[in-house]
Amino acid sequence: MSAESDNEDVPAVSSIWGGRFAAAPSAIMEDINASIDFDRRLVFHDIEASRAHCKMLIQQGIITPGDGEAILAGLERVHREAEAGTLAFSRALEDVHMNVESRLAALIGDAAGRLHTARSRNDQVATDFRLWLRDAIDDLDRGLARLQAVLIDRAEAHAGDIMPGFTHLQTAQPVTLGHHLLAYVEMLGRDRGRLSDARGRLNECPLGAAALAGTSFPIDRRMTAAALGFARPCANSLDAVSDRDFAVEFLAAGSLLGVHLSRLAEELVIWSAEPFGFVRLADQYSTGSSIMPQTRNPDAAELVRAKTGRLMGALTTLLVVLKGLPLAYGKDLQEDKEPVFDAADTLGLCIAATAGMLETATFDTVRMRATAGKGFAGATDLADWLVRVGGLAFRRAHHVVGALVKMAEARGCNLEDLALADMRTVEPLIDADVYTVLGVDHSVASRISEGGTAPALVRAAAAEARRRFLG
């Protein structure tokens, strides 16, 4: 970023460390120690927390109103520069906190140094990180709600369109496309719940814990917590600066969300392949081949599927960072932000891509229905009928239907195409009423248990999902 003309040069020996060190860090130390290349994302949250801290210091009489007003005016200027992209960031100042403070000092002079009274970069970064992640979770929740809305819209449109349901990726029983899509609505609903739970637990304010032990100044931590929208201050100063459970929880919830998006992406990949041909992804979400002019590749879905690995890697990274840390703060915790930032970015992109793919996809419902009729998908319906009408034990009914499937397979036909007389050679109890349960339409319509795939239930479930998840 370019700096405005009144940004001062950073001194060769940073004043961060006071009088303890006489020489500047080596270039290697600067490279490994600086976090400004990534934690600059926290700049607006750092300014927000500093405003709240400053107002509390004024109210508590810890700094004078004059110094406080100068600090607040300066922070407003720094905020405008950050918004305009003209705020300069220096690696020599290590992190976003010192960059903001340095710019504030350049604008208002010595009064800027009073802002750091009764706080440490340890409680600053913990506060800023929570503020940032809280906003990131809110953004992801909005994206997930939109994805759910797309799925519900498409489920309602295809509530009665029959497709094969699979187990082991083998044709099992017919379901409706709407029913299948609503399964992902439920998964995403749980993901939103987990993110909401994580947000609730992170919504405690570390500010005022200072380096690790609190402060001797008469601060009002509840005032700053309320000003920043936190439910309460963190209860223990050691825990406040060393806790990163909130980041781990986010990454764990994000990893499972990524798994759900990956499963949906995998189905889009499979369904778009020619042997299936159930769906055609729009041009905007497909690519071609540099050598094979006929290909149409579901690259957006494949990339959503692949990026789940990044999310799992981020979770593992942070868990390994934390596993051996004693209380309270260690520089190791500087490694907490990059995996969280990357995971939030990755999730936002994958959610948007998935919503776009589904919103613009074209489903071949004719082909889906034809495929659902293959593979003897009505076998379970026949077994259920033998139990319900014929009074057979299910294990006996299972054996009878297995024999009938073998007969139909040998003749190259479906179960409903077998003559009644032929079926009766296997089980004399079978009568003409059996044809009322055979065939995909009868099968789907019969699934009337709560949560089943009968079209009327699917329409009702879509309406209920809209109410539960979208308000």
Q: d(Cα 253, Cα 344) in Å, to the nearest integer?
A: 11
Phi, psi of 173 (to 5 degrees): -140, 150
Q: d(Cα 40, Cα 32) in Å, to the nearest integer?
A: 16
Q: Are 249 and 201 in contact (CB under 8 A)?
A: yes
Q: Which of 2, 5, 168, 449 is catalytic?
A: 168
Cβ burial of 401 (10 Å; 0-12, 13-18, 19+) is buried
Q: What is the DSSP string of 121-132?
A: HHHHHHHHHHHH
Residues 6+ away with beta carbon under 8 Å from 78: 47, 87, 100, 103, 104, 107
Angle, alpha carbons 129-102-51 (nearest 5°): 50
β strands within 153-295, DSSP E: 162-167, 170-176, 204-205, 232-233, 279-280
Q: d(Cα 471, Cα 467) in Å, to the nearest integer?
A: 5
Q: Are 152 and 189 in contact (CB under 8 A)?
A: no
Q: Which of 116, 255, 262, 289 is catalytic?
A: 289
| Structure tokens, 181 | 């899509």
- Residue 289 bears catalytic tag: yes
Q: How far is CA 455 from the centre of its chain?
A: 30
- Residue 242 bears catalytic tag: no
Q: d(Cα 349, Cα 356) in Å, to the nearest integer?
A: 11
Q: Are 427 and 393 in contact (CB under 8 A)?
A: no
Give the catalytic positions in this structure.
168, 289
